[in-house]
Amino acid sequence: SLGFSFAAVQSRAPAQSPVALMRSLHPPLPQCLYQLLAFVPPSNGSLGKPGTAVVMVDTQHPLTLQLNGSEGDRELCKIQYHFGEFGNYSLVVKTLSTSTKTVSCDLVINEGPINSYLPILFAFLVYMGILAILIAGHLFMKIDPVRSWVYKKLNPRETDRLINSELGSPNTTDSVSSDPTPRLWSTVSRQRLRSLDTFRGLSLIIMVFVNYGGGKYWFFKHESWNGKLCFPSSVFSRFVFIMGTSISLSLSSMLKWGSSKRKVLGKILWRSFLLILLGIIVVNPNYCLGPLSWDNLRIPGVLQRLGFTYLVVAALDLLFTRAGAESGTLETPCPALQDILPYWPQWIFILMLEVIWLCLTFLLPVPGCPRGYLGPGGIGDFGDYPNCTGGAAGYIDRLLLGENHIYQHPSSSVIYQTTMPYDPEGILGTINTIVMAFLGLQAGKIFLFYKDQHKQIMSRFVIWSIVMGIISAILTKCSKEEGFIPINKNLWSISYVTTMSCFAFILLLLIYYLVDVKRLWSGAPFFYPGMNSILVYIGHEVFENYFPFKWKMQDSQSHAEHLIQNLTATTLWVIISYLLYRRRIFWKI
């Protein structure tokens, strides 16, 4: 099956001694218990027939295979190897000395593994070909006769840009003006930052592809626990980050147009309520267990966390906004920090939230678990804390929400064989999601304070990225497991937030430079789903199992078929968002 290879173990050990084959991840961090793969029967000495056992091994990580004798569970041999997909291997065990009971273990490749990355290369070439055709078409459109002919045939109408249609931002009707394109920067500029929609759309499309399966490749799946910054682990965090940026811009625009704080706060409450409601009722993974009922209703979720995060960050920005701060008329003791110092109450609030997270995470007593435990439980940490998945974060969710109302299949169950439910969108992690959105809010304030000053904007993004990177290096000690607080997406640890913010500032800088400063890229095709983010996210969840987004495959073990299906579904949502954009249809909350 996908991600596995077959291995046959041939034992020529003495007839009276069956052996046991164990396996563990390599390197085994956190320290995992060896797991029994198979008992290998003794060889038949009279017939010269070796004892044989066939097992299936994981190919995602390097493995340590250990052979133990049945007498005293003595270790006979140990090998470390990274198996390839669909390979066929033999582990040949031979007795070297019957007196000392020493054996040799030799790994033989019977059938070489396949190159499972060829479908990715082919898909890349196909999309590059499509891109080349589109670029050629764009160049042809610069030729006057060709452009005139196309315009006559299509009669396109320029789509009016709607302001604040992004997720979690008040829309154009919030403005007291009837002008459908309110000014973002000043009374002169009417152009919206396309880089924000492009950033949001890029994050959204990657999220859709990953949720649809990512071609069943292991690197398109979430990391089991602590670990490297795998592809999917950064997507949701970037979405949260750009939501914070949009909050800053949209609230500033509404207040400039004369909307009262009371009216804006009411809209913030309403939008938060709708996001949470949509997450609980419409986008709820527990539908797969049958008709939804309170007995198995999952309370946390992606939209629920976005809704609550939006509520806190937007309300915080609204309540502590100071008149004249963004226009530069408010004097500050340090001009270099003019986008930070006027908002010191917001920073105090965020720091208090972080202190609460640290105290609950490291000081809250959790029954049966060591204080401050951040591990996956299960067989991790030598199996000493099997029911401690997530430490305080998991305990708080199970205590306040109940085990049946949180996510039942966490990513840690794959490798660490955890049995406790754990929700990656749980209560405690929401605190650091708010911190992430607040850092995105700072990016929005930079746009507001340094209007059209491209060098200032980009230099401050670089500074923020460096600061976040330094904090991450200190917290993690630049290691996967040995730091004070490891990077962990399941826990939404503070080191995860600072690391993702570091990359988010850099990515936003690059997109801003290409799209809004140099105008070398229009943001297409990601710009279009970025303009209809709510519709695309909810739509891809609701219609996930319907044709043409999914169909019965001829070979469910083929990366190529999975990749074709997942890329087709993702591309369809890009096309749908483009058609909606052309028809000026934007679904906002």
* DSSP-derived secondary structure for 94-110: EEEETTTTEEEEEEEEE
List CB contacts of 270: < 8 A, sequence separation 6 or more: none
From CA 581, how far away is CA 579, in angstroms rounded? 5
What's 344's DSSP letter?
Answer: H
How far is the C-alpha of 336 from the C-alpha of 341, rounded, in Å? 10
Helix, strand, or coil (residue 25): strand
> What is the spatial distance between Cα 258 and Cα 16, in angstroms, rounded to a whole number?
89
Show Cβ contacts of residue 53 under 8 Å, excluding neighbours closer than 6 positions. 8, 9, 11, 21, 38, 39, 40, 41
Q: What is the C-alpha separation between 63 and 333, in angstroms, rounded?
A: 58
Active-site residue list: 222
Sheet containing 4-12: order of strands: 51-58, 4-12, 88-97, 102-111
CA distance linking residue 239 with residue 522, whole number of Å: 20
The Cα 314–Cα 269 span in angstroms is 9
CA atoms within 13 A on the CB side of 391: 26
Q: Residue 69, exposed/middle/buried by CB under 10 A (0-12, 13-18, 19+)?
A: middle
Place of tokens 């988010």: 504
80: which 2 tokens? 């470390």
Residues 242, 199 contacting (CB under 8 angstroms): yes
Please tell me the distance from the alpha carbon of residue 369 to that of residue 384, in angstroms, as a whole number: 9
Q: Amino acid identity, residue 145?
A: P
Q: Six-digit token pair at 510?
A: 């690059």
Measured over the CA atoms of residue 182, residue 185, residue 188 and residue 191, the dihedral's sign is: negative
